[in-house]
Amino acid sequence: MPKKIWVNGRLVDPRRPAVSVFDRGFLYGDGVYETIRVYDGKPFQLEPHFQRLARSLRGIGMRVPFGRAVLGDAVASVMAANRLADGVVRLTVTRGEGALGFDPASCRRPTVVLLAVPFASHPAVHYEKGVRAVFVRLRRNAKNALDPSIKSLNNLNNILAKMESMKKGGQEALMLNQEGYLTEGTISNIFFISGGVLKTPSLDCGLLDGVTRSVVLSLAKRRSLAVWEGRCRPRHLFSAEEVFLTSTTLEVMPVTSVVDEQGRLRRIGSGQVGEWSGRLLRDYRRLITKATGKKFKI
Ligand code: PDD
């Protein structure tokens, strides 16, 4: 349990109720969030996270309730109040307290909560040997329903997908869109190397515009690795030389096996972590070191 949490401008005790049971985030998942990594006391890629927060809020008809400087200070103060240098800050904005019912007219003030927790590092073996991803039956939310480009609190679809993948022995689920094209994982974007080209589903397939996804695309270009964004079928993954996932918390996570929709296990490439996956993880971490001073073993 964190020592303090940040709620609408104040650091408070998390054991005391700080958010109303009439809050629409609680009642309806009516809000958005960001997950930010802090390394050695410095947030990484803070600006892109704030920009996406603003886009998500616009997508649900809201505006960022605090200025950029206040939110930047909030990230720093919630980390400091919990005496954390390496951690994860979860920033949640809801439409606030209101009357029961979907009409948001009675909502007077958005609720903003920042939680800071220590970073629970992923097992080293996942980076050394790669993880297993599972194609699940559940489809990603359609772009013309709750658009996946909005990082909303409505995560039930992804939670059910995650549960399905865990039952089938996977660390991450892979979801298709309504047309059967690949979108992303439940908390990550997906990439693969095919014919020496780095490929990833394009944003129009209906997925979150990952902050790490953008960083990795620019790192690949810097290495003169050809990059392609478009529509991908599951079979494109099965024949890929390498597959990896990206997210704020996973960084660059290699995938060495995939369970297809028929439940068959398919090895990716040689079944070992590929060269590009390792190289891009090291490049990504070098960038973190440059931006925050954090040192890594690999
Ligand atoms: N998840 N796709 C989905 C559906 C996500 O929830 C996330 C992030 C990503 C990767 O985005 P980024 O690189 O900006 O972290 C892709 C965060 C980590 C979370 O849910 O806590």
Give the model confidence (pLDDT) of 156-170 as tens digits.
999 999 999 999 999
CA of 39 to the centre of ligand 1 (A): 18
- Extract the tokens encoding 177: 């869109």
Whether 155 is in the pocket of ligand 1, judged by its Cβ within 6 Å, is: no
- Extract the tokens encoding 208: 């979150």
Give the model's pLDDT for residue 209. Answer: 98
- DSSP 8-class letter at 14: T
Give the model's pLDDT for residue 137. Answer: 97
For a ligand 1 pocket test, name from 158, 219, 248 the mutation site with the most ligand atoms within 8 angstroms of its C-beta.
248
Nearest CA to ligand 1 atom 20: 187
Whether 246 is in the pocket of ligand 1, judged by its Cβ within 6 Å, is: yes
Low-confidence ranges of the chain (pLDDT < 50): none
Give the model's pLDDT for residue 298. Answer: 72
> Which residues touch 100 (CB under 8 Å, ≥6 apart)?
22, 27
- The one-letter code for the residue type at 196 is G
CA of 222 to the centre of ligand 1 (A): 23
CA of 158 to the centre of ligand 1 (A): 11
- Which pTM value belongs to this model? 0.97
Rounded to the nearest 5°, which phi and psi values hold at 35?
-115, 120
User: How far are the Cα atoms of 21, 130, 214, 252, 290 from residue 284, in angstroms, in the given order?
Assistant: 41, 17, 11, 8, 10
